[in-house]
Structure 1
Protein backbone atom coordinates (compact mmCIF):
# COMPACT_ATOMS: atom_id res chain seq x y z
CA UNK A 1 0.00 0.00 0.00
CA UNK A 2 1.43 3.34 -1.04
CA UNK A 3 1.02 6.53 1.07
CA UNK A 4 -0.74 9.51 -0.43
CA UNK A 5 1.85 12.21 -1.24
CA UNK A 6 -0.58 14.99 -0.24
CA UNK A 7 -0.92 13.58 3.26
CA UNK A 8 2.85 13.26 3.60
CA UNK A 9 3.30 16.87 2.45
CA UNK A 10 0.77 18.19 5.00
CA UNK A 11 2.17 16.22 7.95
CA UNK A 12 5.45 18.22 8.30
CA UNK A 13 3.57 21.55 8.01
CA UNK A 14 1.13 20.45 10.71
CA UNK A 15 3.98 19.43 13.00
CA UNK A 16 5.69 22.80 12.47
CA UNK A 17 2.48 24.67 13.32
CA UNK A 18 1.99 22.59 16.45
CA UNK A 19 5.57 23.30 17.52
CA UNK A 20 4.97 27.03 17.00
CA UNK A 21 1.98 26.80 19.35
CA UNK A 22 4.04 25.17 22.11
CA UNK A 23 2.80 26.58 25.42
CA UNK A 24 6.36 26.86 26.74
CA UNK A 25 7.28 29.31 23.98
CA UNK A 26 7.03 32.96 25.03
CA UNK A 27 3.89 34.53 23.64
CA UNK A 28 3.13 38.12 22.85
CA UNK A 29 1.02 40.01 25.35
CA UNK A 30 -2.02 41.71 23.84
CA UNK A 31 -2.76 45.41 24.29
CA UNK A 32 -5.74 44.42 26.43
CA UNK A 33 -3.50 42.37 28.73
CA UNK A 34 -0.98 45.21 28.99
CA UNK A 35 -3.64 47.75 29.91
CA UNK A 36 -5.22 45.31 32.38
CA UNK A 37 -1.81 45.06 34.08
CA UNK A 38 -1.57 48.87 34.23
CA UNK A 39 -5.07 49.04 35.76
CA UNK A 40 -4.10 46.42 38.33
CA UNK A 41 -0.93 48.31 39.27
CA UNK A 42 -2.84 51.61 39.55
CA UNK A 43 -5.45 49.98 41.80
CA UNK A 44 -2.75 48.40 43.95
CA UNK A 45 -0.96 51.74 44.32
CA UNK A 46 -4.21 53.47 45.24
CA UNK A 47 -5.23 50.83 47.77
CA UNK A 48 -1.82 51.16 49.43
CA UNK A 49 -2.36 54.92 49.74
CA UNK A 50 -5.92 54.46 51.02
CA UNK A 51 -4.60 52.01 53.62
CA UNK A 52 -1.99 54.56 54.72
CA UNK A 53 0.87 52.38 53.50
CA UNK A 54 4.05 53.45 51.72
CA UNK A 55 3.09 52.91 48.08
CA UNK A 56 6.61 53.39 46.71
CA UNK A 57 7.01 49.90 45.26
CA UNK A 58 3.58 49.89 43.61
CA UNK A 59 4.17 53.42 42.31
CA UNK A 60 7.52 52.43 40.77
CA UNK A 61 5.97 49.41 39.05
CA UNK A 62 3.17 51.59 37.66
CA UNK A 63 5.63 54.24 36.48
CA UNK A 64 7.74 51.58 34.79
CA UNK A 65 4.67 50.19 32.99
CA UNK A 66 3.49 53.61 31.79
CA UNK A 67 6.66 55.68 31.34
CA UNK A 68 7.02 55.15 27.60
CA UNK A 69 3.32 55.56 26.85
CA UNK A 70 1.68 58.63 25.40
CA UNK A 71 -1.03 60.00 27.66
CA UNK A 72 -4.02 62.25 27.22
CA UNK A 73 -5.96 63.89 29.99
CA UNK A 74 -9.54 62.78 30.21
CA UNK A 75 -12.38 64.90 31.55
CA UNK A 76 -12.26 66.01 35.17
CA UNK A 77 -15.35 65.56 37.28
CA UNK A 78 -15.38 67.87 40.25
CA UNK A 79 -17.91 66.44 42.68
CA UNK A 80 -18.52 66.52 46.35
CA UNK A 81 -16.93 64.87 48.21
CA UNK A 82 -14.73 63.24 45.53
CA UNK A 83 -12.92 64.82 42.61
CA UNK A 84 -12.23 62.52 39.65
CA UNK A 85 -9.59 63.06 36.99
CA UNK A 86 -8.62 60.68 34.22
CA UNK A 87 -5.42 59.78 32.43
CA UNK A 88 -5.97 58.03 29.12
CA UNK A 89 -3.60 55.84 27.11
CA UNK A 90 -4.57 56.19 23.41
CA UNK A 91 -2.34 53.26 22.42
CA UNK A 92 -4.83 50.93 24.09
CA UNK A 93 -7.97 52.50 22.65
CA UNK A 94 -10.35 55.38 23.34
CA UNK A 95 -11.67 53.93 26.60
CA UNK A 96 -8.29 53.02 28.11
CA UNK A 97 -8.31 55.52 30.95
CA UNK A 98 -7.36 55.36 34.60
CA UNK A 99 -9.53 57.29 37.02
CA UNK A 100 -7.88 59.12 39.90
CA UNK A 101 -10.38 59.64 42.73
CA UNK A 102 -9.48 62.16 45.40
CA UNK A 103 -11.43 63.06 48.53
CA UNK A 104 -10.91 66.70 49.36
CA UNK A 105 -11.44 68.87 52.42
CA UNK A 106 -13.60 69.23 54.42
CA UNK A 107 -14.31 65.52 53.99
CA UNK A 108 -10.77 64.27 54.39
CA UNK A 109 -7.73 64.26 52.18
CA UNK A 110 -6.74 61.17 50.27
CA UNK A 111 -7.35 58.69 47.51
CA UNK A 112 -10.24 56.33 47.00
CA UNK A 113 -9.79 53.61 44.46
CA UNK A 114 -13.02 52.64 42.76
CA UNK A 115 -16.27 53.97 41.44
CA UNK A 116 -17.98 51.90 44.14
CA UNK A 117 -16.06 53.69 46.90
CA UNK A 118 -16.80 57.02 45.25
CA UNK A 119 -20.51 56.19 44.98
CA UNK A 120 -20.49 55.18 48.65
CA UNK A 121 -19.04 58.54 49.70
CA UNK A 122 -21.42 60.50 47.47
CA UNK A 123 -24.37 58.58 48.92
CA UNK A 124 -23.06 59.27 52.44
CA UNK A 125 -22.82 62.99 51.59
CA UNK A 126 -26.34 63.08 50.15
CA UNK A 127 -27.76 61.23 53.16
CA UNK A 128 -25.87 63.47 55.59
CA UNK A 129 -27.05 66.68 53.92
CA UNK A 130 -30.66 65.41 54.00
CA UNK A 131 -30.30 64.48 57.68
CA UNK A 132 -28.60 67.78 58.59
CA UNK A 133 -29.93 70.23 55.98
CA UNK A 134 -28.58 73.38 57.59
CA UNK A 135 -25.74 71.94 59.62
CA UNK A 136 -22.89 71.61 57.12
CA UNK A 137 -20.31 70.84 59.79
CA UNK A 138 -22.34 67.87 61.04
CA UNK A 139 -22.97 66.61 57.49
CA UNK A 140 -19.28 66.96 56.62
CA UNK A 141 -18.34 65.04 59.78
CA UNK A 142 -20.56 62.11 58.70
CA UNK A 143 -18.81 61.93 55.32
CA UNK A 144 -15.38 62.27 56.93
CA UNK A 145 -16.29 59.42 59.30
CA UNK A 146 -17.27 57.17 56.35
CA UNK A 147 -14.00 58.00 54.55
CA UNK A 148 -11.98 57.17 57.66
CA UNK A 149 -13.87 53.87 57.93
CA UNK A 150 -12.88 53.09 54.31
CA UNK A 151 -9.28 53.82 55.21
CA UNK A 152 -9.45 51.52 58.23
CA UNK A 153 -11.03 48.74 56.12
CA UNK A 154 -8.22 49.06 53.56
CA UNK A 155 -5.56 49.10 56.30
CA UNK A 156 -6.97 45.84 57.69
CA UNK A 157 -6.80 44.17 54.26
CA UNK A 158 -3.60 45.55 52.71
CA UNK A 159 -0.26 44.59 54.27
CA UNK A 160 2.80 46.73 53.61
CA UNK A 161 4.34 43.81 51.72
CA UNK A 162 1.67 44.24 49.01
CA UNK A 163 2.90 47.79 48.48
CA UNK A 164 6.63 47.12 48.28
Structure 2
Protein backbone atom coordinates (compact mmCIF):
# COMPACT_ATOMS: atom_id res chain seq x y z
CA UNK A 1 0.00 0.00 0.00
CA UNK A 2 1.43 3.42 -0.90
CA UNK A 3 2.35 5.76 1.90
CA UNK A 4 3.38 9.38 2.25
CA UNK A 5 6.95 10.46 1.69
CA UNK A 6 9.09 10.71 4.79
CA UNK A 7 11.62 13.47 5.28
CA UNK A 8 15.03 12.55 6.65
CA UNK A 9 15.60 15.33 9.16
CA UNK A 10 19.14 16.63 8.75
CA UNK A 11 18.48 20.28 9.61
CA UNK A 12 17.05 20.34 13.13
CA UNK A 13 19.23 17.97 15.14
CA UNK A 14 21.96 19.79 17.07
CA UNK A 15 23.15 16.52 18.64
CA UNK A 16 23.91 14.70 15.38
CA UNK A 17 25.74 15.88 12.30
CA UNK A 18 24.11 15.63 8.88
CA UNK A 19 26.71 13.01 8.00
CA UNK A 20 25.66 10.86 10.98
CA UNK A 21 22.00 11.21 10.03
CA UNK A 22 22.70 10.28 6.39
CA UNK A 23 24.74 7.28 7.59
CA UNK A 24 21.80 6.14 9.73
CA UNK A 25 19.35 6.63 6.84
CA UNK A 26 21.76 4.72 4.61
CA UNK A 27 21.62 1.79 7.03
CA UNK A 28 17.88 2.01 7.80
CA UNK A 29 16.82 2.29 4.15
CA UNK A 30 19.38 -0.21 2.81
CA UNK A 31 20.81 2.28 0.31
CA UNK A 32 24.43 1.02 0.16
CA UNK A 33 25.81 4.53 -0.31
CA UNK A 34 29.57 5.05 -0.11
CA UNK A 35 31.16 7.64 2.17
CA UNK A 36 31.85 9.81 -0.92
CA UNK A 37 28.18 9.70 -1.88
CA UNK A 38 27.13 10.64 1.65
CA UNK A 39 29.60 13.55 1.61
CA UNK A 40 28.07 14.64 -1.70
CA UNK A 41 24.56 14.58 -0.17
CA UNK A 42 25.70 16.61 2.85
CA UNK A 43 27.21 19.17 0.49
CA UNK A 44 24.16 19.25 -1.80
CA UNK A 45 21.62 19.62 0.98
CA UNK A 46 23.30 21.79 3.63
CA UNK A 47 27.00 22.63 3.39
CA UNK A 48 28.02 23.11 -0.23
CA UNK A 49 28.43 26.36 -2.17
CA UNK A 50 24.75 26.33 -3.25
CA UNK A 51 22.98 24.01 -0.82
CA UNK A 52 19.30 23.11 -1.20
CA UNK A 53 18.81 23.91 2.53
CA UNK A 54 16.02 21.43 3.23
CA UNK A 55 15.55 17.87 4.37
CA UNK A 56 15.69 15.18 1.68
CA UNK A 57 12.81 12.73 1.33
CA UNK A 58 13.25 9.00 1.56
CA UNK A 59 12.20 8.75 -2.12
CA UNK A 60 14.95 11.19 -3.14
CA UNK A 61 17.52 9.12 -1.27
CA UNK A 62 16.21 5.89 -2.85
CA UNK A 63 16.45 7.40 -6.32
CA UNK A 64 19.93 8.83 -5.66
CA UNK A 65 21.08 5.40 -4.48
CA UNK A 66 19.52 3.69 -7.51
CA UNK A 67 21.11 6.07 -10.02
CA UNK A 68 24.50 5.76 -8.32
CA UNK A 69 24.34 2.02 -7.75
CA UNK A 70 26.73 -0.50 -9.24
CA UNK A 71 24.21 -0.81 -12.05
CA UNK A 72 25.88 2.29 -13.44
CA UNK A 73 29.10 0.50 -14.39
CA UNK A 74 30.44 3.48 -16.32
CA UNK A 75 31.26 5.35 -13.12
CA UNK A 76 33.29 2.38 -11.86
CA UNK A 77 34.94 1.31 -15.11
CA UNK A 78 35.85 4.88 -16.13
CA UNK A 79 37.28 5.80 -12.73
CA UNK A 80 40.93 6.46 -12.00
CA UNK A 81 42.44 3.70 -9.91
CA UNK A 82 45.59 2.72 -8.05
CA UNK A 83 47.29 -0.68 -7.95
CA UNK A 84 49.97 -1.38 -5.33
CA UNK A 85 50.24 2.35 -4.57
CA UNK A 86 50.83 3.17 -8.25
CA UNK A 87 48.31 5.31 -10.12
CA UNK A 88 47.32 3.59 -13.36
CA UNK A 89 47.39 5.46 -16.67
CA UNK A 90 44.28 3.76 -18.03
CA UNK A 91 40.83 3.28 -16.54
CA UNK A 92 39.51 -0.29 -16.37
CA UNK A 93 37.38 0.35 -19.45
CA UNK A 94 40.37 1.76 -21.35
CA UNK A 95 42.37 -1.34 -20.37
CA UNK A 96 39.64 -3.64 -21.72
CA UNK A 97 39.55 -1.70 -24.99
CA UNK A 98 43.36 -1.73 -25.13
CA UNK A 99 43.45 -5.52 -24.76
CA UNK A 100 40.97 -5.86 -27.61
CA UNK A 101 42.97 -3.40 -29.74
CA UNK A 102 46.24 -5.28 -29.15
CA UNK A 103 44.94 -8.83 -29.61
CA UNK A 104 41.51 -8.58 -31.16
CA UNK A 105 42.28 -10.08 -34.57
CA UNK A 106 39.06 -12.10 -34.44
CA UNK A 107 36.90 -9.16 -33.36
CA UNK A 108 34.65 -7.63 -36.00
CA UNK A 109 32.88 -5.21 -33.67
CA UNK A 110 33.00 -4.61 -29.93
CA UNK A 111 31.66 -2.23 -27.29
CA UNK A 112 28.37 -1.55 -29.02
CA UNK A 113 25.43 -1.89 -26.61
CA UNK A 114 27.29 -4.48 -24.52
CA UNK A 115 27.66 -6.69 -27.57
CA UNK A 116 30.47 -7.95 -29.74
CA UNK A 117 30.69 -9.71 -33.07
CA UNK A 118 33.52 -12.19 -33.58
CA UNK A 119 34.77 -14.06 -36.60
CA UNK A 120 33.09 -17.43 -36.54
CA UNK A 121 34.28 -20.98 -36.91
CA UNK A 122 34.25 -22.73 -40.24
CA UNK A 123 30.88 -24.05 -41.34
CA UNK A 124 29.43 -25.46 -44.53
CA UNK A 125 26.51 -23.74 -46.24
CA UNK A 126 24.49 -25.95 -48.55
CA UNK A 127 22.53 -24.56 -51.50
CA UNK A 128 19.70 -26.72 -52.81
CA UNK A 129 17.80 -26.56 -56.07
CA UNK A 130 14.99 -28.61 -54.55
CA UNK A 131 14.42 -30.63 -51.39
CA UNK A 132 16.37 -33.55 -52.78
CA UNK A 133 18.93 -31.98 -55.11
CA UNK A 134 22.05 -30.33 -53.73
CA UNK A 135 23.59 -27.72 -56.03
CA UNK A 136 26.70 -26.84 -54.13
CA UNK A 137 28.26 -26.37 -50.75
CA UNK A 138 30.32 -23.47 -49.66
CA UNK A 139 32.69 -23.11 -46.71
CA UNK A 140 31.94 -20.04 -44.64
CA UNK A 141 33.09 -18.36 -41.48
CA UNK A 142 29.83 -16.88 -40.18
CA UNK A 143 30.24 -14.28 -37.44
CA UNK A 144 28.97 -14.89 -33.91
CA UNK A 145 27.14 -12.26 -31.92
CA UNK A 146 27.73 -12.24 -28.17
CA UNK A 147 25.94 -9.95 -25.76
CA UNK A 148 26.96 -9.83 -22.13
CA UNK A 149 24.90 -7.81 -19.72
CA UNK A 150 25.53 -7.55 -16.00
CA UNK A 151 22.52 -5.90 -14.51
CA UNK A 152 20.17 -5.57 -11.62
CA UNK A 153 16.73 -6.84 -12.42
CA UNK A 154 13.91 -4.32 -12.19
CA UNK A 155 13.30 -3.21 -8.65
CA UNK A 156 10.23 -1.50 -7.34
CA UNK A 157 10.65 1.67 -5.39
CA UNK A 158 7.79 1.48 -2.91
CA UNK A 159 9.32 3.51 -0.14
CA UNK A 160 9.84 0.42 1.98
CA UNK A 161 13.06 -0.30 3.80
CA UNK A 162 13.12 -3.80 2.29
CA UNK A 163 12.67 -2.64 -1.34
CA UNK A 164 16.01 -3.68 -2.75
CA UNK A 165 17.23 -4.76 -6.18
CA UNK A 166 17.12 -8.44 -7.00
CA UNK A 167 20.44 -10.30 -7.14
CA UNK A 168 22.75 -9.53 -10.02
CA UNK A 169 22.26 -11.66 -13.07
CA UNK A 170 24.46 -12.14 -16.07
CA UNK A 171 22.98 -13.21 -19.36
CA UNK A 172 25.04 -14.51 -22.24
CA UNK A 173 23.30 -14.92 -25.56
CA UNK A 174 24.92 -16.30 -28.68
CA UNK A 175 22.78 -15.94 -31.77
CA UNK A 176 23.21 -17.94 -34.96
CA UNK A 177 24.19 -15.90 -38.00
CA UNK A 178 21.56 -14.90 -40.53
CA UNK A 179 22.39 -15.99 -44.08
TM-score band (shorter)? under 0.3
TM-score, normalisation: structure 2: 0.25
Structure (1 or 2) with the greater strand fraction: 2
TM-score in terms of structure 1 length: 0.26
Higher helix share: 1
